[in-house]
Amino acid sequence: MMRFAWMAAALLVFTAAPASADETSAPDYSQDAAWLCKPERIDACASDQSLTVVDAKGTMRAEALVPDADRPFDCFYVYPTVSNDPGGNSDMSANAEELRVAHAQAARFRKHCRVFAPLYRQITLTALRSLMAGGTDPVPDRALAFGDVQAAWKSYLANDNDGRGVVLIGHSQGSGMLSQLLETMTSAEERAKVVSALLIGTNVERSASDPAAGDFAWMPACTSADQHGCVVTYVTFRDDVPPPPGSRFGRSQNAGMHTLCVNPAALLGKGAQADAIFSTGGVGTSSKPMTEWVVGEPLPTTNFVSVPGMIEARCEDRGGANYLAVTVRGDATDRRADNITGDVYAGVRRLDDWGLHLLDMPVVMGDLVELTRRQHASWAAAR
């Protein structure tokens, strides 16, 4: 059985099962219990984000995350496919898997912004495992999941926004939900609140010939860190293992369209030099664990590891695929490991069409966090 940790929004197009009235009623997001993360609360996004910086000489030093005294904008985060609940859609309980992914993906953004992360009745791993194995039960309901995210967003705007700018952040299924949310934004006032959208690990398609064609075409792709009202999106593959033919990532499914790739490191003027931050706890059950960061030395004891100068990331357009190509730099004088783990496996078989989906955010996590600060500064200056 395939054991995928985070599944892609590209797979989440299903025939919805008939839902009862109770199921179709959105949760009450005015209640704290409906949120995985909210500001000024001890929850998954208040977790310890201390990291160990490991340099090329093998020297290690610990650094704590110190949030800004003034966090003038918000981040609205929607998590990827993690639920192990038995049905096609999850319940509204924050189990270990939801807590883990918020700790790994969302909590670091609190350095510059207040983080809001709704629980939602997402399509489960249970349903996706069944689908991948050729089964039809349980049947997931994408509309139910999106209805929750939309209701959470409306509740946030009504009760918590107070005129602040907000960065939308998602990964995989979460990015798919936010893409759909952006499609529904027709009000200029609502659009103006969006500082940027970080839609990671999903295909955002645009037309090269028609600027008005494609996914939420009203929002341009970001071309600078000092820009707001734009989208950052990419899918990640190893530089030497590009998306194969038929890959679900990085290849458009529609004639005349292409997928966007926006490199956060390049936006910050760093070229290919990525600020990668990896979890020492691994990236999920579908990937092999990292055994050492410095050859012959035990793993650091902090929750995260930073490896300056070790990871390079470039947007590449090869053979009809558009993606973020990752290279691990190593030489004879670098004491660090020569490779990273994060490929998706089914048993002993590496699934090349998934690329480094599990590392979409970690390979540029430091860049993503810094980018939100710069983009908000642009948003605020425009006002």
Domain extents in the chain: 45-381
Q: Using CA atoms, how far apart are residues 325 and 272, in angstroms rounded to an integer?
A: 10
What's the pLDDT at 17?
Answer: 41
Phi-psi region of 58 (alpha: psi -120 to 50; beta: other; left: phi over 0): left
In degrees and rounded to multiples of 5, residue 316 shows phi and psi of -125, 145
Structure tokens at 271: 């070229």
Q: State pLDDT tens for residues 248-298.
A: 899 998 889 999 999 999 999 999 999 999 999 877 666 778 889 999 999
307, 278 Cβ separation under 8 angstroms: yes
Q: Using CA atoms, how far apart are residues 355 and 50, in angstroms rounded to an integer?
A: 28
Q: Using CA atoms, how far apart are residues 363 and 356, in angstroms rounded to an integer?
A: 9
| Number of helices followed by number of strands (H, E) in the chain | 8, 17
pLDDT surpasses 50 at 10: no
Helix 173-184 to helix 142-156 angle (10° resolution) is: 60
Give the range among 24-28, 34-38, 80-84 with minimum mean pLDDT: 24-28
Q: State pLDDT tens for residues 319-338.
A: 999 999 999 997 788 999 99
Q: Using CA atoms, how far apart are residues 56 and 51, in angstroms rounded to an integer?
A: 16
